[in-house]
Amino acid sequence: MACALTGASYGSITRAPLSAASHSRKYLLMNIYLPIAEMSVNAALFLGMGWAVGFLSGMFGVGGGFLLTPLLMFMGVPTAVAVGTGSMQILASSVSGAVAQYQRNNVDIKMGAVLVVGGVVGSVIGVSLMKILRQVGQFDLFVALSYVLFLGAVGALMMIESVGTIRKRQTGQASPRKTGQHSWVHGLPFKMRFHRSKLYISALPPAMIGAFVGFMAAIMGVGGGFVMVPAMIYLLRVPTSVVIGTSLFQITFVMAVTTFLQAVQNKSVDVVLALLLIVGGVIGAQFGAAAGAKLKGEQLRFLLAGLVLLVCLRIGWDLMNKPVEIYSIGPVIGGAN
Amino acid sequence: MARMPLALLAVLLLLLPVLAQDSRAPRVGPPRPAATPNADAPLETVEADVSTRTLEVTTGFTGHEIIVFGAIDNSQAPEGDANYYDVVVVVEGTPFPIVVRRKSDVGGVWINTSSVTFSSVPSYYAIASTRPIEEIAGPSVLERNAIGFQHIKMTPSASYKGVLKEYEVAAFRDAVIRLKKKQKLYVTEPKDGVVFAGRSLFRAAIPLPANVPVGPLVARTYLFRKGEAVSAHIARVTLHRAGLERVVHNFAFLHPAGYGLFAVLVAVGSGLLASTFFKRRNA
């Protein structure tokens, strides 16, 4: 306990320059001392960051966790706090969407429940693994590698798809639609009838997808919509009308559980930091949604893919390049070593 | 019944060392060096205090400058000789165990590959002095009094004996000092860090940055004459959380489950509140 109490006292090495930079902007808005991150930050700067991420997530219709969590880490927030606080912010930004989708009857509750059950299992595993990785000093590496891997794959696929669609639209070709195909997914046991999705499939694939997304959510501080939505469409063949609502339903519940677990196991949820980001984010999302309405779907996906790939490259660059400082200091967590 | 006074006496006897310690001036740090220049004259001593005994870290905390001030009693400095005495002030934070990790290139990716745990490293360490400390005293004197970054007591955990070479552990040690300096947690004010006002009064300004770890600080003031520490004094500053900052931090660490639920409720509440607000505005 003593270790946990003193743990957050040592942050990443970028903390000092940050507080110095924000000091000069003191007249703009007061600095806020974050109780869990244990750093003094400029409130306006973090509100602005929340706004920017909210704008992009409103524009592209994504949660924005994959942008926000790395951004917090670049700002010097300890990785664990960035991930833990990220899940709280995602919960806030997805809950209203989930309620709206539910009211429009766009949620397959049964499918959602299976996804949530899987998600909670994944989250529990993820949060526990995070604790172990922090003790052995490999958590930052694991997070960075996960980001490079997932953002790289999803970004590249989205880029290829959107470029293809834009080309086809230019040449006037209609994209062929495949329907009623059976895949290996339909041969698994524990079949369940999902009325809202008009599916009769095994409960295992959605549970596994949910678990995987829950795991990612805990480790990377993301909602995981960018993995879950394609998986539901292409693997489970859930109708597009219920995909968004059902994935938001899963994200909301899994994020609530993840936030709770992060607070209990890793003490890495900073409510003050999260509130700054939430307030900035909800306002930004309103402007973003208005901006996004002016663009075509494939154009948006193309831009989003570019953004995803940029974040991926930036993190990858930091991993591959010889760091200026090869040493780092941190607290002893849970009596390791 | 007759045993009562005896028991009372026993308790008193047990308490005696504690009481005696309390009544003495707080001199827990390095022992006061004995030096007798003029046998007939009374010894010069230094006394010091800190401008702020307790500092509160609140939500608005952006760092704080503490002033260590003091005076030399029985100064024997000849008239007009301003450089007769040197004063060094060391402000040290609570020691904590820390892990130092070293990255190396593993197949093109930079990965933490080795680490050393130091069982106690001061969270904060500031030196202020009238002149650079190397000019004031020799390394052995500085080491004995734990003055200077290279003399900070850092003991690696025993498990590294034989695994890592001496110079490797030294590199980890240097890294701690370098990184702490970068965080502005190890600071030095070698020139005019301590300023004399008159013959025996002096003051030193110590900047505590916003990221200073919360906990008690110890301010040690040394009086040097001709390269020897002739007197020392210890003062304390407590740095504690206060206000909203304290409430949130204690909630998170003492009642993690309650805090977790609270965090979930805040997120859900603010998310729903925001959406109803904007729905009404956009309608």
What are the pLDDT digits (tens) for B221-255?
999 988 888 999 999 999 888 888 889 999 999 99
What secondary structure does DSSP assign to chain B, as a single string?
Answer: -THHHHHHHHHHHHHHHHHHHHHS----SSPPPP--S-SSSPPPEEEEEES-SEEEE-TT---EEEEEEEEEET--PPTT-TTSEEEEEEEEEPEEEEEEEEEEEETTEEEEEEEEEEEEEES-EEEEESS-HHHHS-HHHHHHTT-SGGGS---B-GGGBTTB-HHHHHHHHHHHHHHHHHTTSEEEE-SSSEEEETTTEEEEEEEEPTTPPSEEEEEEEEEEETTEEEEEEEEEEEEEE-HHHHHHHHHHHH-HHHHHHHHHHHHHHHHHHHHHHHHHHH-
A134–chain B Cβ distance below 8 A for any pair: no
Q: Is B177 part of the contact surface with chain A (CB cutoff 8 Å)?
A: no
pLDDT tens per residue across span B118-154: 988 999 999 999 888 888 888 999 988 889 898 888 8
**Tokens (6 digits) for B23:** 């009544």
Average pLDDT, chain B: 81
Over residues A259-308, the pLDDT tens digits come to 999 999 999 999 999 999 999 998 888 888 888 888 887 888 888 889 88
Q: What is the pLDDT of residue A23?
A: 46
Query: Where residue A196 falls among pLDDT bands split at 50, 70, 90?
Result: confident
Residue B167 at interface with chain A, using a CB cutoff of 8 Å: no
| Domains of chain B from N-terminus onward | 43-241 (2.60.40.3880)
Can you tell me the distance from the alpha carbon of B120 to that of B8, in angstroms, rounded to the nearest whole number?
40
pLDDT band at B160 (very low <50, low <70, confident <90, very high): low
- Out of A19, A94, A141, name the one closest to residue B111 (CB): A141
- What percentage of chain A's residues is helix, strand, coil (to nearest 5)? 70, 5, 25
Q: Of B217, B233, B223, nearest to B30 (Cα)?
A: B233
Q: Which helix (H) or strand (E) holds A194?
A: strand A191-194
Neighbouring C-beta atoms of residue B69, cutoff 10 Å: 20
Q: Do residues A33 and A7 lie in contact, with contact meaning Cβ atoms separated by under 8 Å?
A: no
Q: What would you report as the CA-atom Rg of chain B, rounded to the nearest whole angstrom?
A: 25
Per domain, the residue ranges of chain A are 17-171+184-320
d(CA A135, nearest CA chain B) in Å: 10
Q: Tell me how far apart the alpha carbons of residues B233 and B31 are, in angstroms, rounded to a whole number.
A: 10
Q: How far is B58 from chain A (nearest CA, A)?
A: 7
B262 touches chain A (CB under 8 A): yes
Percent of chain A at pLDDT exceeding 70: 86
B258 shares contact with chain A (CB less than 8 Å)? no
Q: Is B172 on the interface with A (CB under 8 A)?
A: yes
Quote ipTM for the complex. 0.81
Residues of A in contact with B172 (CB under 8 A): 327
CA-nearest of A284, A326, A255, A247 to A60 is: A284
With cut-offs at 50, 70 and 90, classify the pLDDT of residue A235.
confident
How far is the alpha carbon of A301 from chain B, nearest alpha carbon, in Å?
25
Say which of A33, A138, A259 has its CB closest to residue B267.
Answer: A259
Contacts of residues A153-158 at CB distance under 8 Å and 24 or more positions apart, as own/partner, are A154/A226, A154/A227, A154/A230, A154/A308, A155/A305, A155/A306, A155/A308, A155/A309, A155/A312, A156/A305, A156/A309, A157/A230, A158/A301, A158/A302, A158/A304, A158/A305, A158/A308
Averaged pLDDT for residues A237-260: 91
The yes-or-no verdict on residue B277 having pLDDT over 60 is: yes
Judge whether residue A16 has pLDDT over 50.
Answer: no
Q: How far apart are CA A223 and CA A178, in angstroms?
A: 29
A63 backbone φψ class: left, alpha, beta (φ>0; ψ -120 to 50): alpha
> Which phi and psi (to 5°) does residue B245 adopt?
-55, -45
Which of A305, A283, A248 lies closest to A50, judged by CA?
A283
- Report the percent of chain B where pLDDT is more than 70: 80
Measured between CB atoms, does B260 come within 8 Å of chain A?
yes
**Which of A148, A326, A333 to mutate: most B Cβ within 10 Å?**
A326
Helix A204-220 × helix A109-136 angle, to 10°? 40
What is the pLDDT at residue A86?
A: 93
A129 compared with B274, residue with greater pLDDT:
A129
Beta-bridged to residue B201, according to DSSP, are B71, B197
> Distance (Å, rounded) from C-alpha B152 to C-alpha B142?
10
Question: Residue B78 — pLDDT band, cuts 50, 70, 90?
Answer: confident
pLDDT at A28 over 80: no
What is the arithmetic mean of pLDDT over B28-46?
Answer: 58
Condensed to tens digits (0 to 9), the pLDDT of residues A203-225 reads 888 999 999 999 998 899 888 88
Contacts of A81 (CB under 8 A, 6+ apart): A8, A36, A37, A72, A268, A269, A270, A273
Distance CA A54, CA A64 (A): 7
Determine the distance from the C-alpha atom of residue B128 to the mean position of all C-alpha atoms in its chain, rounded to a whole number.
13
- pLDDT value at B77 more than 90: no
Beta bridge partners of B196: B202
> From the list A96, A262, A323, which residue is nearest B271 (CB)?
A96
Q: Residue A72 above 50 pLDDT?
A: yes
Res B115: pLDDT: 86
B window 116-145, beta carbon within 8 A of A: 117, 123
Whether chain B has a CB inside 8 Å of the CB on A29: the answer is no
Residue A233, C-beta contacts closer than 8 angstroms, at least 6 positions apart: A240, A243
For chains A and B, what is the number of CB pairs under 8 angstroms? 220
| Predicted pLDDT of residue A133 | 92
CB contact under 8 A, B270 and A92: yes
Q: In chain A, which residues have their Cβ closer than 8 Å to the Cβ of B156? A: none
For position A149, what pLDDT does the model report? 92
Nearest CB to B59; choose among A32, A321, A326: A32
